Amino acid sequence: MNYKMGEVEVGTRVECNGARGTVRYIGEVTETNGLWYGVDWDDSQRGKHDGSHNGVKYFTTRHPTSGSFVRPTKVSTGITLEAAVRDRYQADTTTSTQVTNEFQRTIKAKFVEFVGMEKIGAKQRQLEFLNIAVVRGCGIWGSDEVNLTQLLPRLHHLDISNSLLTSWVAVAHITCQLPSLRVLNLSGNSLRLPECGHELCGSTKHITHLIINNMLDYTWPHLMSCCTMFPALTQLKVAYNNLVELGPIPPKQLECLEELDLSANSFTSWTQVNYLGTLQRLTAVNIRNCQLKYVEFPDVPATEKTSLFPTLEALVLDNNPLNLWDCSAELDKLPKLQKLVYSIDENVTPNLPEFIYARIQNLKALNHSPVTSMEKKESELFYLKSFSNEYYNSGGHEDPSEASLTQEFIAKHPSYLRLVKVHGTPVDETNFKSNKSQKLKDLQKIEVTVVTPDHPERECCVKSFLPTTKVAKVKMMLKRQLKINAAATLTLSYYTKGRENYEYPIDNDIQELSYYSMQNAFTPKRSEGYRKMSEGEEYDVMTPLGPLTPSSCSGGISASSSTEFNSRRCYREVPHRLAGKGRPGRAELDQNNIYGLLYIHEDGNHQARLYRTRHILSDRGRA
């Protein structure tokens, strides 16, 4: 490599045997001969003292053991960016062999062949077509009189981390010659701050992605001072800078910032993080591996959205000493949060992922695992059921408008009422549990035959359930019994003996089986069940319909494990007419004169079957 020994002065960055440091003293040392450099090494364990020798203080060091004296011939002042790029991509013809040998050692294989390495190497040697240049740790001190615009006209990404650059002025001298440059990595450098960063904006205004991790002795104000040189910045990484506190964002600074990486720093207060909430375009923040102990948005109460972070969609919080259950209530205040990364230990809090999906309204992915709308709904229903007793014991009511919840419950479950408005109130089980006289043996079990239409090869089996058994528990038991994947979506329906062609959906996981009249709790005087109805079909009678309740409790449950399957019950207006015998003319169904309960059954092929329930009420008679 072509090292250029420049004129060394105090403040010059030098390298010796792979260790980098800053010259703090040039001169003689007592009781020795010749010239010495007093170097303050970046690695505090590299030196031997604090800049003193035989009781005489020659220079000041960053650490008590980071200083030492070296001869000028032992250090290097580095090379230019042009020399580093040529050495890396043109002069080195052994790259392919080195990569192959290193890969062999990594995977412990004797024979490895890379196809196309020669072609890639030939393309990279044409510097005018080079898009990415990685010259990390090559000892670059800056650029000389060579025109980098002609040498690297298409360079888009430049990595000059762990170099020997001394100031931001040297950086600006490089970037001003690379108009196509957008991504700049300066991590691990010790750069003197500019007296006026705005004066360098003309040389750095085209940079949109800046990486300044592990900058020696930089504080938050120092980092903000550097950012004044980059008005178009959209991505900023300032990890591993040992930041113990942040601070307010200066006016008209980082106005275009969308992604920010603050990982592996040492601040502990979420108040510091809230300073970033004024950034109006910020969509992603990485605060991994810091020392945060809580999350708090004190500007709004528990059930409202904060004005901070108005566009934040992704947040990384793993490896922080946080209680995610408590934090999730605060994170729900973020109006657009969709992706969250956090370290979860389900041994501490069982079912925590499901609860987090329910508690954070707009959450769509947890730990990089996306959630479907169906899984989101099931998590919300499960959350409602899990804390239903606490809801009713805290002043809840089956009619949410009459609920008078305690402040303690609202603070602990701020999203509960929102979910109640969406899915309805859960069943109040507090009265049943308090009534100790009710014995399980007094409840007549429902005996059903289980069949699987999607898998006719499975044999039918007979199961017995209590009327108070939840549908969710029935699904769980059937999955174990039939050896169905626990992650599969199970859809249930049932029919009664003698009416095998009429299926009734079981479509609400938080309801009990008795809700679907699978016991003789109520039987109308006369019921004709479900029967198919086609468009334009005429009926011999039209009477208002009451609720359908099968007259028999024994029958079959039909289970489908197809993830494409969807079953739902709905009331709809019918676009065609129904003719009534004995009535003049024709009558249309409308909202004020309901003559039919329609059930839409959609299978995996999206083919709809239309049913009509018809009840003959004794007080109306037959026309």
Please identify which residue in the block is written with the tokens 């003292």: 49
HSE, side-chain direction, 13 A CA sphere, residue 61: 25
Other Cβ atoms within 10 Å of 69 Cβ, number: 18
Instruction: Give the Cα separation of 158 and 89 in Å (integer).
Output: 13
From residue 193, how far is each of 223, 239, 460, 536 by CA, in Å?
Answer: 9, 18, 78, 82
List Cβ neighbours of 199 (8 Å cut-off, separation of 6 or more).
Answer: none
**Dihedral Cα 482, 483, 485, 487, nearest 10 deg:** 60
Burial 144-183 (b: 16+ CB within 10 A, else e): eeeebeebbeebebbbbbbbbbbbbbbbbbbbbbbeebbb
How, if at all, do strands 446-451 and 555-560 pair?
Answer: parallel
| pLDDT for 565 | 28
Q: Which two tokens stand for residue 333?
A: 């205040």
pLDDT for position 528 = 31
Residue 490 DSSP one-character state: P
pLDDT in the model for residue 123: 57
What pLDDT is recorded for position 100? 65
What are the residues facing 438 on neighbouring strands?
none
The phi-psi region of residue 368 (left if phi > 0; otherwise alpha if psi is between -120 and 50; otherwise beta) is: left
CB neighbourhood size of 336 (10 A)? 13
CB contact set of 249 (below 8 Å; sequence gap of 6+)? 224, 275, 276, 278, 279
3-state secondary structure (DSSP) of residue 610: strand
* First CA to last CA distance, the chain: 104
Q: How far apart are the C-alpha atoms of 333 and 597, rounded to whole Å? A: 41
Buried b (16+ CB within 10 A) or exposed e, 572-587: eebeeebebeeeeeee
Q: What is the pLDDT, as a whole number, of residue 505?
A: 83
CA-to-CA distance for 44 and 21, rounded, in angstroms? Answer: 10
Q: pLDDT tens, 3-58?
A: 344 578 898 999 998 899 999 999 999 888 899 999 999 988 889 899 998 889 99
Report which of 295, 324, 326 is spatially closest to residue 312, judged by C-alpha positions. Answer: 295
Q: What is the DSSP string of 552-606?
A: -S-EEEEEE--TT-EE-------SS-B--TTSSS-B--BTTB---EEEEEE-TT-
DSSP state of 88: I
Q: Which residues of 446-473 are buried (b: 16+ CB within 10 A; e: fewer)?
A: bebebbbeeeeeeeeeeeebbbbbbbbe
- The neighbour count for residue 303, using CB atoms within 10 Å, is 15
Query: Per residue in 584-622, pLDDT tens?
Result: 333 333 333 333 323 323 333 323 333 333 332 222 232
Q: Looking at 442-554, which runs of residues are DSSP E strands?
A: 446-451, 461-465, 491-496, 504-506, 530-532
Overall size of the chain counted in residues = 623
Say which amino acid occupies 534. Answer: S
Helix (H, G, I), strand (E, B) or coil at 611: strand
For residue 569, the tally of other CB atoms under 10 A from its CB is 13
Positions of the chain with pLDDT lower than 70, given as ranges: 1-6, 91-104, 108-125, 346-348, 430-444, 497-500, 518-623
